[in-house]
Structure formats: C-alpha cells, structure tokens
Amino acid sequence: MFKVDGNPYSVCCVGGGFQVTDLSDPAAPVQVAYSDGGGLLKERLKGVTTFEVDGMPHAIMTSNREHLFLIVDLSIPSSPVVVSHAKNGEAEFELNRVHQGAIFDSNGVRHALVLAFNRFQIVNLADVSSPQVVSTCKADECGIDFSLYSASHASIFNVNGENYAFITTYSFDIPEANGFQIISLADLTSPIAVSRGVHGENGYTMYRAIETSIFEVNGVVYGLMACRYDSRIQIINIVNPASPYLVSQATLGVDGFDRILTPMSSSYFTLNEVLHVAIVSDGGNNAGFQVVNLADPSSPVAVASGKENVDGYTEMYGAGDIATFEVDGVIYAFVAAWHDNGFQIAKLSNRGAD
C-alpha cells in the first residue's frame, strides 16, 4: 500500500508480474498499471514491501521462483519503473528462494534485510539504482542456529536506538526449528543473534509460524506471530530483545476468534485512539479476516470478522495478504486472495472495530 498526492494505491503480486490499483474510491477500485518487471518476471512474485525515496514511493519485490528482487519506482502509479534488480549468483547476491525484503534505516541510510533460503543479506539502498551487499549471514553463523534454514518472514524494530530483526522460522520435519530469532543489526557488517523462541518451550506454540509484525503500546514493543498450522496468534514482549517472553495468545474458536484458521498476514490501524490489527486467514471456506483490539496486549479482544461467502465477501478464498488504509476518515482493509484470483475491500469502521 502506498500514497501519491494523498490518494491510496495497492500493489499486488499477480501471475508473472504485479498490478497497481487506485483505491481513492474504495467502492470502485481502478487498475492503473500492470507490469512484468520489464520482462524479468515469468513466475509469480513472493512478496512486496513499499518504502519511500526522497518522499517518492518505491517497492522491493521478491520472486522465490526466479531467485531475484526488483526495486520499482511507483511515483507515477500508472507507469511503474524498474530502477534496478539483483539475481542469485550475480555480484555478491545470494538469493536462492528469496522470500522478502524488510526495509529499515541505519545512520540515515536506507537498507533492506533480504531473506532467502538458509540465509539473509543486508543490502544498502542509498542508491536504489545500484543496491550493494553489505553482509551475508547464513544458518549456523553469526550465532544463528539451523532454524534459519526455514526462515519465512522478517520484521525490523528499534529499541534504544538500535535496530533488530525479528525472524520467523518453520519446519514440517523438525519441531524445534519452528519459532523465531531476534538478531542485532547494530553492526550491519556483522549481525549477531541475541535470542530465540522455540515451539513447545516457554509457552510458545508456533508450529509453522508464517509471519511476524511489530507494534507498540504504551512505549512497549511487541511482536505478533501468525502461527499458520496452529491456527493462532501469539504476542511476545520484545522490549528487551535478549529476553523476549510470551504475553498472550489467541486461538481459533476461543473468545470470539473465529477467523484465524491458518492466519497469514496482518495490518495495523488506529481507531478512536486505540490500536487494532486486522489479520487475514486463507483457511478454505473458513477464509476471511479478524479485527482485534490491542489496547491491552496481554488480553487481545476479537471485535469483528468477515468470512468468505458471507455478507457479500466472495473473494477471500486463499486470502494471503491484508493492508489497511484510510479514505475520508474511514478505515478500509484490502484483502488479496490467491485462490480466488481477486481482492476484496472491507469497510472496517462499520464492522464493530469502533
């Protein structure tokens, strides 16, 4: 999700490329561009992360099938421009099965943590037309254990002026490889693991954790884990990155949480000065989204939900991503679904979150 001249736009992964949609009228979204990345994309993209360069929207887009990432200028939404790309094996890039790029600033310089199979790379984006590898960190190096082999998602957070990466990991075969690791990015040339959480230990139930996101309430930083195969979310206090601990969890079918079967993605918004999160689930005929009040992270409250084939929701089967946005003071959610090959826009401020 990004804005140009105050108008919201979405950028979605589609087969062999990406699509840009104008959302300024949520009731009548308009596709304004489709691109195959200048011919670089033949397979579907894995992930898209937007960021700004000199106030202009850009995105890093990853393809785990073509083992590359693109940097795209979105400042003219109807005419996106690929300004650079990197492929596995070129220069110093190691992008086998690349998943995602997490954006952060360090000493005033834009960087990306690019997550690939059994490793991640720190990439300097000071010049987006020429990204440069700063460091590479592999499983069993930098104090990082074997679970990095199955890393699925990374989020960046800052505590006391220092950047950290919160990385989710999963494995079908090795239970103890499911969980998370927290990595210090104080020295970008030498990232260091400072802690981890393991499925089945210390209250953690994180079998195949698929996504993590960061939020803050009353000055305390938390990580929210979407645990796909456990059909639950877990909230972790990470204000001390060296000593994270479980604060709360929500499970499918308990206390009104009816739409977190195989949760996939989350997006935050504030309504009536209270932080909320919208969580999307790809759970077949149970697919949909859940809106959660996070005023008290130790006791998250389910306040609303939307379900596939109920109340007009017809494009949520296989829902894999969600992004919230605001138009004229109203909060909306954009839900993209791979199985239905479509998207749905929901008006959240009318669905109990207020």
Asked if 321 and 259 touch (Cβ cutoff 8 Å), the reply is: no
CB half-sphere exposure, 149, CA atoms < 13 A? 10
How far is residue 240's CA from residue 342's CA, in Å, rounded to a whole number? 40
Q: Cα dist. 238→177, 180, 224, 328 in Å?
A: 20, 12, 10, 35
What are 165's two structure tokens? 């990466």
Alpha-carbon separation of residue 168 from 65, 208, 223 (angstroms): 20, 9, 10
Question: Running along the chain, 354 residues long, what does each successive block of 10 average in pLDDT?
Answer: 94 85 95 89 81 95 90 96 96 90 95 91 97 89 62 91 91 76 94 86 75 92 81 90 94 71 79 90 73 94 75 59 90 77 78 47
Q: Who contacts 303 (Cβ-Cβ below 8 Å, separation ≥6)?
A: 276, 291, 292, 293, 352, 353
Kind and range of the H or E run holding 100: strand 100-106
Provide the edge-to-edge strand list for the sheet that holds 319-327.
Answer: 319-327, 330-337, 342-347
Q: Residue 74: CB partners within 8 Å, gap ≥ 6? A: 2, 4, 9, 11, 20, 50, 56, 57, 58, 59, 80
d(CA 49, CA 112): 10
* DSSP annotation string for 168-224: EE--SS-GGG-EEEEEE-SSTTS-EEEEEEETTSTT---TTEEEEEEEEETTEEEEE
Per-residue model confidence (pLDDT) at position 354:
43
Q: How far apart are CA 18 and CA 49, in angstroms?
A: 12
H/E stretch holding 305 reads: strand 301-307
| Burial (CB count <10 Å: 0-12, 13-18, 19+), residue 216 | middle
